[in-house]
Amino acid sequence: MKESRVYNYSAGPGALPLPVLERAQDELVGLPGVGMSVLEISHRSAPFEQVLRDTENNLRALLDLPRDYHVLFLQGGATLQFSMVPMNLLRGSGRHADYVVAGTWGKKAVTEARREGEVRVLWDGDGEAFTRMPRPDEWQPDPKAAYVHITSNETIQGIQLHWEPESSPVPLVCDMSSDFLSRPISVERYGLIYAGAQKNAGPAGVTVVILREELLERIPDNLHTMLDYGVHVAKDSMYNTPPVFSIYVVNLVTEWLLLEIGGLRKMAEVNAEKAELLYRVIDESDGFYRGHAQSESRSHMNVTWSIADSNLELLFVNQARTRGMHGLKGHRSLGGLRASIYNAMPLHGVRALRDFMLEFREEYGL
Ligand code: PMP
């Protein structure tokens, strides 16, 4: 680790791989062979078009994308997708949409979808304090639904879906914001995937949308131009000025995943190993630490827990900070503690946190 850098466990924007930051720094004043910064070249120039193409190709390679899927780079965050999805796929369809509500983000997605049409909540984890994802036997989408919407990883509660629904004629729409590119997925099971980049894929400012060609036929006429997936597909994400710098960094991150990590299977192995280190400390703490998630839904991206004596939590956060570990305070709505250990958090960063958790318990446990 560079001397001036701390470990950053923040939930997003989250840590980026150091080699990516260093390369962006090296190239900031002039892209190699271009003599201008990526911050100042025209988005219509050949060098930027190359960046866009490379980023898309890296994503296609990492996710093994079938040919009938489009990749879009949009703005407005994952939050705008809460609206764009129902505008494009529910409005005027004469159908309802099924939503799985497993946490805060799924709930927000429902709020926006209800402005567009009828929404049915297929499964709701609220009664269990959002401590788990649904099991496969609790999953019965209505064949007449326009689509089914799920959130693969609930960032605030720290719960993750560890199984992928089977393909069905009802398109599956997934908010993958906080576990996108953290593990391999079976893309053909999804009609549409979206992810704000600022956790695993790059900086804030760009949202990746992956959608199956066939869904374009369902889009109603007369949507506002910027809110119409069809326009962005037709214009290769260049209907207006795209977030050039964010896309450029996604290009570097995806290249890092391909060349340095060796793909998503490798990444998933490392991520599972990292998560296991922290969950083991929680499980073996005799109740000093209490995990929020039920074990089968534990997130490999966001580990959420509390301390039995909640008065110690602030002390934990402050002491961790003095040791160069930042961003461990839980989300304000849930309280407690949260360690986001996205792709870019190295194993040694998780080991450092594990060691601190053990020491802290030694010091303050009974
Ligand atoms: N969905 C999930 C799962 C998230 O974690 C977040 C952001 N934390 C969002 C949606 C909202 O993303 P954005 O801030 O990019 O709009």
Write down the pTM of the prediction: 0.98
CA-closest residue to ligand 1 atom 12: 78
Task: Round the average pLDDT of the chain to a whole number and report it.
Answer: 97
Express each pLDDT in 99-115 by its tens digit.
Answer: 999 999 999 999 999 99
Catalytic residue among 98, 179, 199, 274: 199
CA of 108 to the centre of ligand 1 (A): 10
Full 3-state SS string of the chain: CCCCCCEECCCCCCCCCHHHHHHHHHHCCCCCCCCCCCCCCCCCCHHHHHHHHHHHHHHHHHHCCCCCEEEEEECCHHHHHHHHHHHHHCCCCCCCEEEEECCHHHHHHHHHHCCCCCEEEEEECHHHCCCCCCCHHHCCCCCCCCCEEEECEECCCCEECCCCCCCCCCCEEEECCCCCCCCCCCHHHCCEEEEECCCCCCCCCCEEEEEEHHHHHHCCCCCCHHHCHHHHHHCCCCCCCCCHHHHHHHHHHHHHHHHHHCCHHHHHHHHHHHHHHHHHHHHCCCCCEEECCCHHHECCCEEEEEECCCCHHHHHHHHHHHCCEECCECCCCCCCEEEECCCCCCHHHHHHHHHHHHHHHHHHCC
Is 142 among the catalytic positions?
Answer: no
CA of 281 to the centre of ligand 1 (A): 28
Check pLDDT > 80 for residue 3.
Answer: no
Express each pLDDT in 315-330 by its tens digit.
Answer: 999 999 999 999 999 9
Express each pLDDT in 118-172 by its tens digit.
Answer: 999 999 999 999 999 999 999 888 999 999 999 999 999 999 999 999 988 999 9
Is 179 among the catalytic positions?
Answer: no
Catalytic residue among 98, 107, 123, 175: 175
Q: Where are the domains of the chain?
A: 20-261, 263-364
- Which pLDDT score, from 0 to 100, does residue 262 have? 98
Instruction: Tell which atom from ligand 1 comes closest to the C-alpha of 103.
Output: 3
CA-closest residue to ligand 1 atom 3: 177
Instruction: Tell which atom from ligand 1 comes closest to the C-alpha of 198.
Output: 15
Q: Which CATH superfamily is domain 263-364 in?
A: Aspartate Aminotransferase, domain 1 (3.90.1150.10)
- Which pLDDT score, from 0 to 100, does residue 366 have? 74
Is 175 among the catalytic positions?
Answer: yes
CA-closest residue to ligand 1 atom 9: 78
Fold designation for 20-261: Aspartate Aminotransferase; domain 2 (3.40.640)
Express each pLDDT in 208-247 by its tens digit.
Answer: 999 999 999 999 999 999 999 999 999 999 999 999 999 9
- Which pLDDT score, from 0 to 100, does residue 124 have? 98
Express each pLDDT in 37-75 by its tens digit.
Answer: 999 999 999 999 999 999 999 999 999 999 999 999 999
- Which pLDDT score, from 0 to 100, does residue 4 have? 83
- Which pLDDT score, from 0 to 100, does residue 2 have? 60
Instruction: Tell which atom from ligand 1 comes closest to the C-alpha of 11.
Output: 8
Pocket of ligand 1 (CB under 6 A): 12, 77-79, 105, 151, 155, 175, 177-178, 196
